[in-house]
């Protein structure tokens, strides 16, 4: 099983509920367990400023899926929650699910770049990720999470909202019969 960190974001159609639904969908993925999730954060949008604020979080999964199988599953969740892929790079969206880290692997191909290519410059990615990682966490490319956090641009508008109250035990533990 690989430990995988997922970034979640939404700024359309009730963003907190979109993230709640995405976390519940992650619980249902084959060969995958949701270990835990971070608090939700509110952040200013990247790209066009005339869009709503984002709600962001991170999730820690354990999976035996390959990186590309997981990517396909994440894109299916996005589509099921109304995601429309457009040419506009940083436009508004119902749901964005990104593989931030996939075990200790470095992946770079036409579909996937892991570690996520711009996470080092995004406090709305790093702060939720730091909630899920040990203090001395080192990325597969050798960078330390604490160094990325200290050199990341500050976003004075970033707000920690709350931690979602999900009951993952029922989905993860098939021996329960309630």
| DSSP one-letter string for 148-167 | HHHHSPP-TT-EE-------
pLDDT at residue 102, rounded to an integer: 97
> Is residue 93 among the annotated active site residues?
yes
Please tell me which residue in 20, 83, 89, 173 is annotated as part of the active site: 83
Please tell me which residue in 96, 109, 155, 178 is annotated as part of the active site: 96
Whether the CB-CB separation of 64 and 2 falls below 8 Å is answered with yes
The C-alpha atoms of residue 2 and residue 64 are separated, in whole angstroms, by 6
pLDDT at 76 over 50: yes
The C-alpha atoms of residue 116 and residue 137 are separated, in whole angstroms, by 16
- Max CA distance (Å), the chain: 48
Please tell me which residue in 98, 109, 122, 160 is annotated as part of the active site: 98
> Is residue 98 among the annotated active site residues?
yes
**Which is more confident, 29 or 94?**
29
Please name every residue paired with 7 in a beta bridge, in sequence order, or none if there are none.
58, 98
Residue 176's pLDDT band (boundaries 50, 70, 90)?
Answer: very low
- 122 Cβ contact list (under 8 Å, min separation 6): 46, 152
Q: What's the pTM?
A: 0.89
CA 76 to chain centre: 15
> Is residue 177 among the annotated active site residues?
no
Select the CATH number that applies to the domain covering 2-172 from these four: 3.40.50.460, 3.40.1180.10, 3.30.70.560, 3.30.1330.40.
3.30.70.560
> Is residue 96 among the annotated active site residues?
yes
Q: Which of 39-48, 65-74, 90-99, 153-162 has the highest mean pLDDT?
A: 65-74
Q: What does the mean pLDDT of the chain come to?
A: 89
Please tell me which residue in 93, 143, 155, 160 is annotated as part of the active site: 93
pLDDT at 143 over 70: yes
Q: How confident is the model over 15-43, as pLDDT tens digits?
A: 999 999 999 999 999 999 999 999 999 99
Q: How confident is the model over 131-141, as pLDDT tens digits?
A: 999 889 999 99
Please state the φ and ψ torsions of residue 132, each to the nearest 5 degrees.
-100, -10
pLDDT at residue 175, rounded to an integer: 34
Q: In the chain, what percentage of residues exceed pLDDT 90?
A: 73
The C-alpha atoms of residue 77 and residue 90 are separated, in whole angstroms, by 19
The C-alpha atoms of residue 156 and residue 33 are separated, in whole angstroms, by 34
């Amino acid at each position: 099983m690989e430990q995988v960190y997922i970034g979640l974001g939404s700024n359309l159609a009730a963003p907190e509920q979109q993230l709640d639904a995405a976390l519940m969908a992650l619980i249902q993925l084959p060969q995958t367990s949701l270990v835990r999730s971070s608090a939700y954060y509110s952040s200013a949008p990247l790209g066009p400023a005339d869009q709503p604020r984002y709600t962001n979080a991170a999730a820690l999964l354990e999976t035996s899926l390959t990186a590309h199988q997981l990517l396909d599953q994440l894109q299916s969740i996005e589509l099921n929650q109304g995601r429309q892929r457009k040419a506009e790079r940083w436009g508004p969206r119902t749901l964005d699910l990104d593989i931030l880290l996939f075990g200790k692997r470095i992946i770079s191909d036409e579909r996937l770049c892991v570690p996520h290519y711009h996470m080092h410059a995004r406090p709305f990615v790093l702060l939720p990720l730091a909630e899920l990682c040990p203090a001395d966490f080192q990325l597969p490319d050798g960078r330390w999470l604490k160094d990325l956090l200290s050199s990341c641009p500050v976003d004075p508008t970033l707000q920690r909202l709350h931690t979602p109250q999900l009951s993952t035990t029922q989905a993860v533990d098939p021996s329960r019969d309630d």
